[in-house]
Structure 1
Amino acid sequence: MKIRLLTIPMRICIVVNEGRAGKILRRARELGIRGGTIVPAFGTVRNRILRYLALDTYERELIIILCSQADALRVMPILYKEFRFNRPNKGIMWSQRLGSILGCVPSQAMVDAGVDPGTPAVTDMAADPGIVHPSGSNPTSADSGVANPASINEEERKFMSSTVNEATPVPIQPEGAIKTPHAMVITIVDRGKADAVLEAARTAGSTGGTIIRARGSATGETVTLFNLPVEPEKDTVLILAPTAIEKKIVAAIYQSLSIDQPGAGIIFTYPVASVYGLHGID
């Protein structure tokens, strides 16, 4: 069985007001991106009067796109300009380096450029093809059974140094991206506690966040109602913050919501590669 992994895989996330996601995703497809996923979400506004009137949340949409790093560097600056993320309340956009992607088709732009974005094909996969070794694995090891996702195809290395039009170089820091390093802080708590998470984060310097509705499935959380299992509803809170205050935000949420107690929730963070659309931050 042959398996090819996308080298330097990335995830692009875009949060916009309700009704704009479809247009942005269509434009991304025109730029060569194969597709994406739109998730309903809620945004927050930092305004005391609106909060007092219970009008400080509004419906938003989260776009998730999986692609190569070369495509992310090429597409994100274009979306930033065309959809005016440099203006307040137009949305935010960020990207994250992933370990590996299976099932992600190369963009049309890379195909047109004659670039094969996959690592060398691997045969005789292990019994479970869903297990992909992280970038630290040895791609030549006989027992690893999978290519190293970190190994960069030489053609893609050249492609990453230029757009499809080779006369225009791709900058290391994409145009329009915020220079300050950022991290994503994600908190999963019981439904109704998202406001407490955001309030705790604000005390540590956060300016807002995005809420996604979810369901829990941890052992011991499922309850029975009329002999039917009911999974508790959850709030997933996404907070994009400068790395300088990342630990302060995590500590504030942890202490305020007693995350150390069983079933109180979980917090995790990850570094962000590029950020667009946050205002008041250089």
Structure 2
Amino acid sequence: MSTFNWVLAIVTRDYTDEYLKLYRSLGVQTVLGTPASGTASRSMLHFLGLEASEKTILMCACGAETEKRLMHALIHRMHIDIAGNGIALSIPLASLGGQTAAQVLIGQTIDDDARRAAKEERRMEKTAHELIIAIANTGYTDLVMESARKAKAGGGTIVHAKGTGTGLAEQFFGVKIVSEKEMVLIVAKSEDRSPIMRAIMEGAGAATKAQAVVFSLPISAVAGLSAFQEEPEAPETADASAPANA
């Protein structure tokens, strides 16, 4: 079981500040947020008795015990399980890019078990592919991708997000870190994960202006990426000898 989790919550935008207060009360040091919109049809909203609303996606990394407390609080304090309030999910991290990523993303409230596990390139799950996520200061995604390509990474996707850290990152790095962040998402084969993460840490990590932290998530399946996809097996038929219909 992974010691770290990536918790993603989609909430009503009007209540973003209330959610952030909850996160901080539970010791979650760094939260990334980005605006979003729901896609439910008018007929479905009418059927459920709901109104369309703008959403915010909140993302954070936390240790196992903090994740349990957070998910419990989202249900019992924010009532996220009530229709229209949002949704939250927890994804096990496949790996963390060393102590730096653990310290910045999870902070000083890191669980004891998680602290022991947070070693360089700690391997947590085994899957064929992984999603590498690098969180960097705005304007330095090119540096992140240049570093990743040195380890033969393919293309990446950039997501703009606003950091809501409580000052821990500034204290840790000893320099001011801007609140505006950009996330670079890279899909890679599991055997390529470590070289790519290491290249990002060396070329765009804490000692650079990008100040990127990097981690990865396990991917159970990949579709639409010809470089990674394997030819699926043909489905079995009831009678392989039966002639096809004309």
Shorter-chain-normalised TM-score: which range? 0.3 to 0.5
What TM-score do you get using the length of structure 1 for normalisation? 0.37
Please state which structure has a larger fraction of its residues in helix.
2
What TM-score do you get using the length of structure 2 for normalisation? 0.42
